[in-house]
Amino acid sequence: MVKRDIYNFFMLKVNFKEKSPLVKDYISKFFTDNIDSLSSDGFSKRIVFGRDKRQSLIDIYGVDVREWNEIVKKHPVLSIGENVKDITNQLLVMHYIVTGERIYLKFLAVKLFTSKYYRSFPNGIKEAKIKAVIDGLSNKFYIKKHGTLDKSLDATVNTYVTAYKTRFNRASDDDLIYIINALSTRVGIFVKNVQNKYYNAPDDIGFFEDREILEKENKRTTTNDSIIYESVVSTVKKNELSYSVDIATLKSLEGYEYKDVLKNIYNSTDRNSIFIIIDEVMNDFLRINNSPSIQKAHDLFLKFSFTNRNRGEKLTKALDALINKYNITNPDKFKNVLIKYYSIKLYREILKSVV
């Protein structure tokens, strides 16, 4: 007889389909807050999933942790399994089982990565060294083959779901325990492989670069790169004509107060000002970074856009025009929110352009 005590507990306590919008907003914000790490190798800058983040997720689901802990105490496997007794891991797996949406498993993979990373590099890393180590890996390593942490974890989850389809469908106690541990193992191997290479490499490896690499990095943008940049900007503009305000992104930037202002802008001729802002956010990056390659934009664009203080005149004028028209009381914050908002929009398209 198939035992489904764990499954039944969560099905009685949580309406997963009803919780989907809130959990997706939570995940979207976490991904946006950590987009620079997810869109790079993920090892150079640590992602943190702390106690507050964990509790916030539990609060969204609205499940009583004390009731879950009572089940854990009485269960011979849950009580000794670190991964499987964590209620957030169980909730995310259950959410996938109920809805079939892989975003919940993707978030679980990111969450497991943060834990594995901390244990593998308890004293931190030297950024130059880790980058040099990853550059030197072969394509048998996921991070080298797929290029970013985001894509590497996507690939991990996709193969994992295929491998354990029967267990997901059956969802017995043994299956739920097994599939959480299986994903933990896969993510652990992903991190361990890089850890081993890192600690076996000399500390000065990151400070000596091949001349050919330096020359390649300093090349001006090729014609192909220029076409890609044009396509990125064009796509973002086209999307702004087709869609309304991205509330999840706006909230992640603590700019929700400007929701109504943006809605008004989108429904008026001020959309032309938005097009100027999109153009100039990209132009600032291209101009100041000496026409960089699209790969360099992948590595640097978002960080640059979020911190750049040397804004072009056209960008400043377009922002000031909106500030005056809509009587914005905190112009500096408004400028910061809009620049970051459209930087994220542009960056998402840049990501799609990098193989």
- Residue pLDDT, tens place only, 299-354: 888 888 888 888 888 899 999 999 999 999 999 999 999 999 999 999 888 887 76
Burial 304-317 (b: 16+ CB within 10 A, else e): bbbebeeebeebee
Return d(Cα 224, Cα 296) in angstroms, integer. Answer: 14
- Residue pLDDT, tens place only, 221-234: 345 677 788 888 88
Single pTM value for the model: 0.61
Q: Which amino acid is at 189?
A: I
User: What pLDDT score was predicted for residue 205?
Assistant: 62
pLDDT greater than 90 at residue 46: no
Alpha helix (H) ranges present in 171-293? 173-200, 211-217, 223-242, 247-252, 259-266, 271-288
Confirm if 194 and 131 have CB atoms less than 8 A apart. no
45: DSSP letter: S
Q: What percent of the chain has pLDDT over 90?
A: 49
What is the per-residue DSSP string for 44-105? SS-----HHHHHHHHHHHT--HHHHHHHHHH-TTGGG-HHHH-HHHHHHHHHHHHH--THHH
State the average pLDDT over residues 106-111.
Answer: 96
63 falls in which pLDDT band (50, 70, 90)?
very high
- Residue pLDDT, tens place only, 205-253: 654 444 344 344 444 434 567 778 888 888 888 887 777 788 888 888 8
- Residue pLDDT, tens place only, 64-100: 999 999 988 888 788 777 788 999 999 999 999 999 9
Burial 63-80 (b: 16+ CB within 10 A, else e): beeeebeebbeebeebee
Q: Which amino acid is at 61?
A: Y
126: DSSP letter: -
- Residue pLDDT, tens place only, 268-292: 777 788 889 999 999 999 888 876 8
pLDDT greater than 70 at residue 149: yes
